Chain A
């Protein structure tokens, strides 16, 4: 079974530029999560989808971050404009429906904002 795929793996941009990250979850996983992990900290949830609907985006900085999950499969996370403090690893995770199921993570995208 293929794992969670993310691209790109690394991205370097200047502040005020825009950037987008892509995630392809494990086939059949209805729930998809985007986390932000700042160096030295644990991941922090940004947004959670159930199929193509948002169930929790309470910690998403909506003035600059946006995310979508069209057709309930792939998802994109966008930052526009980026700030220095957005430098982090952005992790995508997915799980089958039902909290008794494991949550699996992708390799992450490391973003550096200069």
Chain B
């Protein structure tokens, strides 16, 4: 089974609507990263969460970490075409790993007019 499960795999949202992506780890989380990727390009850093209950926001994107559930969510408010892309969560799950990340398979977001 996957160490890191992302859901949904893909979603289509109308411009102006909200969306939520979830990321669940089967292991203890020492850090949880969210990235955005355009097809064929590198990963753009969005947010890093390290403490249980931590919540961070940047522009219209909010990420939360539930340490007990080993879960994180990414919420986009009032989606825009610029929010389209693939969202990846990456987890630091090894105590002395020097920060290597395990990634989920990604969630493809399509924003329609």
A residues at B contact (CB < 8 Å): 4, 6, 31, 33, 40-45, 48, 50, 55-56, 89, 91, 93, 95, 99-108, 110
Q: Which of A31, A43, A108 contacts B41 (CB 8 A)?
A: A108
A42 and B101 alpha carbons, distance in the complex (Å): 10
A interface: dominant SS: strand
> In the complex the two chains form, is B30's CB within 8 Å of A105's CB?
no
Distance in Å: Cβ of A10 to nearest Cβ of chain B: 9
Contact present for A107 and B41 (CB under 8 Å): yes
B113: interface (CB < 8 Å) = no
**Total count of chain B residues near the partner, CB < 8 A:** 26
How far is B107's CA from A41's CA once the two chains are assembled, in angstroms?
10
**Which chain A residue has the least Cβ–Cβ distance from B2?**
A42
Check: B84 CB closer than 8 A to any chain A CB.
no
Given A42-B106, A99-B31, A100-B50, are A31 and B45 also a contact pair (CB < 8 Å)?
no
Determine the distance from Cα of A105 to Cα of B90 in the docked complex, in whole angstroms: 12
Question: What's the nearest-Cβ distance from chain A to residue B45, in Å?
Answer: 6
CA distance A44 to B30 in the complex (A): 18
